[in-house]
Chain A
Amino acid sequence: MHISAQWISFSTIVRKEIRRFMRIWVQTLLPPAITMALYFVIFGALIGARIGDMGGFSYMEFVVPGLIMMSVLTNSYSNVVSSFYSAKFQHSIEELLVSPTPNYVILAGYIVGGVCRGLAVGLIVTLMSLFFTDLQVHSLSVTVSIVVLTSVLFSLMGLINAVFANSFDDISIIPTFVLTPLTYLGGVFYSIDLLPEFWQGVSQLNPILYVVNTFRYGILGVSDVNIVTAFLGVLAFIVILFAASLWLLNNGKRLRS
């Protein structure tokens, strides 16, 4: 397939994905806005006032970057897992499989769709946070690059989950039993400095700790982790998961007989 035709196919998939989550905005864009507003009110304004400073910042300032990142990664993941699995379930994925579109274009299209939803929700949550705190961006390049890379990473995870899923139950297992616990224990609500040394070490194994803290560094200029390590880790995972996803599509695992 010629490169210009591949571009058209890619933009068609991305447009379709954006239209999908915009069409069902009550399910995709509104819930994170409401949930995060409640987090801001309860954890930031009500409880946060009693907690006091954390890492040299008010609790509200501390928690906002973590909450933005939490919504970005969960929405990137859920966009791809639900869209790809739904296409598999309805067999509409066959529209793409019978076409000359190469698998890497299909993969890139779904990933960019997930990134668009992650960024859209991230933007909504960021705008809502402005009602509760002033955001001063310490490093725009770090902030933007980590949010985009994180969104790519979790979109890839969503796609792998969707390929292996056999039912709608299977697409909620990873978010419920893996993603949510890792996010809550990933430094969204607290600095790992508060933990005993052993648990600080255990927390270092949680990949979400790195993306949350790197994003927090971009906004506030403070982080519990080395941000160079975090960037390299995220990039390495993206390369590994992209290769794994492409292998799954090329292999036709659970998509072709």
Chain B
Amino acid sequence: MTALTIENLEKTYAGGFQALKGISLEVAPGDFFALLGPNGAGKSTTIGILCSLVRKTAGQVNVFGIDIDQDFSAAKREIGVVPQEFNFNQFENVLDIVVNQAGYYGLSRAVAHQRAEKYLTKLGLWDKRNQPSRNLSGGMKRRLMIARALVHEPRLLILDEPTAGVDIELRRSMWEFLREINAAGTTIILTTHYLEEAESLCRNIAIINHGEIVQKTSVKALLKQLNKEVFIIDTRAPLAAAPQASGYVVRQLDEHTLEVEVERGQSLNDVFKALEAQKIEVVSMRNKANRLEEMFVSLIKQQEG
């Protein structure tokens, strides 16, 4: 049984815009799955259908074997959703928001309070429990939505751009938290604009564009398709010109910085050997751009081209 099966899912909005053109995908239980795509690709429409805020035009959706057309109520119990926009009452306090959400899933007040304390503590919001939610910072509001989505302990957690507008430190701590709950067995589907996030967290990936799935594979397999990577190399001594390295394209960015293109099958060792032969000492090295980002852009270009 899969955590999620989507078959030929279509959505045409009232104005005639076709947001989804028959997408199909499967997410295995326990997976950490990324749904990537540019703005307007159909990611949020897909998530909206899964959580009943958008009505599908055609197709089938099964959540842990439950067909949403047969028993959406049972399917909803398996799903927790963290939307892109803040969608809680700005005047309610933090604890009430989480406890009430548990109530909407039929959990008793005692259990709701227990769970609210557990998740608000884990997400660093327990101290803020009596604060009106409007007083929280942007990052805290996002964590509040995660606590709210987890309070009924769903088997499938869907996060729509969970770290948008969140500072780096907080983003890293949210990643840790998501890895932790995924390791504990919760299947996670994530949409994000930060491709580094998908590369760091997710095992499998689907790229969606213009309402169609462009690519469905594992993150590792996708990265293997990369033909070329660009590295930035910092040198200790200033350089008068770009050094030569046979078979490699080396460009000088400034007197201490080089850019080297390494194609699939080539070895970075050869670059270092060539630099060492020219008495150039390397102090650090990094990827020029996120690898997945390059792949993503190339796939989207291929589809549009």
Question: Chain A residues in contact with chain B, CB under 8 A?
Answer: 1-2, 4-6, 8-9, 11-13, 16, 19-20, 23, 86-87, 90-92, 94-102, 252, 256-257
Interface pair A98/B106, CB less than 8 Å apart: no
Task: Please name the residue on chain B nearest to A12 by beta carbon.
Answer: B103
Q: When the two chains form the complex, which single residue of A8, A13, A102, A252 contacts B73, counting CB atoms closer than 8 Å?
A: A102
Q: When the two chains form the complex, which single residue of B55, B92, B105 contacts A100, counting CB atoms closer than 8 Å?
A: B105
Interface pair A98/B76, CB less than 8 Å apart: yes
Interface pair A1/B73, CB less than 8 Å apart: yes
Q: What are 23 A-B contacts with C-beta separation under 8 Å?
A: A6-B106, A8-B107, A8-B108, A9-B104, A12-B103, A13-B104, A16-B100, A20-B91, A91-B86, A92-B87, A94-B87, A95-B87, A95-B88, A95-B97, A95-B104, A96-B104, A98-B53, A99-B101, A100-B74, A100-B105, A100-B106, A256-B53, A257-B54
Give the complex CA separation of A206 and B91 in angstroms: 38
Given contacts A256-B52, A256-B54, A257-B13, contact A94 B96 (CB under 8 A): no
Give the complex CA separation of A223 and B104 in angstroms: 44
What is the CB-to-nearest-CB distance from B151 to chain A, in angstroms, rounded to a whole number? Answer: 11
Residues of A within 8 A of B104 (CB): 9, 12-13, 95-96, 99-101
Interface pair A8/B83, CB less than 8 Å apart: no
Chain B interface main SS type: loop
Give the complex CA separation of A179 and B106 in angstroms: 37
Task: Please name the residue on chain B nearest to A2 by beta carbon.
Answer: B106
Give the complex CA separation of A242 and B48 in angstroms: 27
Interface bin, chain B: 20 to 34
Confirm or deny: B130 has a beta carbon within 8 angstroms of a beta carbon on chain A. no
Residues of A within 8 A of B76 (CB): 98-100
Residues of A within 8 A of B86 (CB): 91
Interface pair B100/A12, CB less than 8 Å apart: yes
Cβ-Cβ contact count across A and B, 8 Å cutoff: 84
Confirm or deny: B89 has a beta carbon within 8 angstroms of a beta carbon on chain A. yes
Residues of B within 8 A of A102 (CB): 73
What is the CB-to-nearest-CB distance from A250 to chain B, in angstroms, rounded to a whole number? Answer: 11
Confirm or deny: B90 has a beta carbon within 8 angstroms of a beta carbon on chain A. yes
Q: When the two chains form the complex, which single residue of B48, B74, B88 contacts A92, counting CB atoms closer than 8 Å?
A: B88
Confirm or deny: B81 has a beta carbon within 8 angstroms of a beta carbon on chain A. yes
Q: When the two chains form the complex, which single residue of B51, B96, B106, B148 contacts A8, counting CB atoms closer than 8 Å?
A: B106
What is the CB-to-nearest-CB distance from A121 to chain B, in angstroms, rounded to a whole number? Answer: 20
Given contacts A8-B107, A96-B104, A100-B106, contact A252 B87 (CB under 8 A): no
Closest 5 A-B residue pairs measured CB to CB?
A: A5-B106, A12-B103, A99-B104, A91-B87, A100-B73
Residues of B within 8 A of A20 (CB): 91
What is the CB-to-nearest-CB distance from A145 to chain B, in angstroms, rounded to a whole number? Answer: 30
Confirm or deny: B113 has a beta carbon within 8 angstroms of a beta carbon on chain A. no
What is the CB-to-nearest-CB distance from B130 to chain A, in angstroms, rounded to a whole number? Answer: 13
Interface pair A90/B87, CB less than 8 Å apart: yes
What is the CB-to-nearest-CB distance from A14 to chain B, in angstroms, rounded to a whole number? Answer: 10
What is the CB-to-nearest-CB distance from A18 to chain B, in angstroms, rounded to a whole number? Answer: 12
Question: Chain B residues in contact with chain A, CB under 8 A?
Answer: 13, 48, 51-55, 72-74, 76-77, 79, 81, 83, 85-92, 96-97, 100-101, 103-108, 148
What is the CB-to-nearest-CB distance from A90 to chain B, in angstroms, rounded to a whole number? Answer: 6
Task: Please name the residue on chain A nearest to B87 by beta carbon.
Answer: A91
Give the complex CA separation of A75 and B155 in angstroms: 42
What is the CB-to-nearest-CB distance from B73 to chain A, in angstroms, rounded to a whole number? Answer: 4
Interface pair B89/A90, CB less than 8 Å apart: yes
Residues of B within 8 A of A96 (CB): 104
Q: When the two chains form the complex, which single residue of B51, B55, B105, B108 contacts A252, counting CB atoms closer than 8 Å?
A: B55
Give the complex CA separation of A12 and B73 in angstroms: 18
Interface pair A90/B54, CB less than 8 Å apart: no
Interface pair B106/A95, CB less than 8 Å apart: no
Known: A9-B106, A16-B100, A95-B97. 8 other contacts (CB 8 A): A1-B106, A2-B106, A19-B96, A92-B87, A94-B83, A94-B87, A95-B101, A101-B105
Give the complex CA separation of A12 and B100 in angstroms: 6
What is the CB-to-nearest-CB distance from A107 to chain B, in angstroms, rounded to a whole number? Answer: 14
Task: Please name the residue on chain B nearest to A93 by beta carbon.
Answer: B87
Residues of B within 8 A of A13 (CB): 103-104
Give the complex CA separation of A100 and B71 in angstroms: 10
Residues of A within 8 A of B74 (CB): 100
Most A CB within 10 A of own CB, among B13, B55, B85, B106: B106
Most B CB within 10 A of own CB, among A19, A20, A91, A102: A91
Task: Please name the residue on chain B nearest to A105 by beta carbon.
Answer: B104
What is the CB-to-nearest-CB distance from B26 to chain A, in angstroms, rounded to a whole number? Answer: 22
Interface pair B90/A90, CB less than 8 Å apart: yes
Given contacts A97-B52, A98-B52, A256-B55, contact A11 B106 (CB under 8 A): no
What is the CB-to-nearest-CB distance from A9 to chain B, in angstroms, rounded to a whole number? Answer: 5
Give the complex CA separation of A99 and B80 in angstroms: 9
Task: Please name the residue on chain A nearest to B72 by beta carbon.
Answer: A100
Give the complex CA separation of A94 and B96 in angstroms: 16
What is the CB-to-nearest-CB distance from A166 to chain B, in angstroms, rounded to a whole number? Answer: 15
Task: Please name the residue on chain A nearest to B49 by beta carbon.
Answer: A257
Given contacts A2-B106, A87-B89, contact A95 B148 (CB under 8 A): yes
What is the CB-to-nearest-CB distance from B297 to chain A, in angstroms, rounded to a whole number? Answer: 29
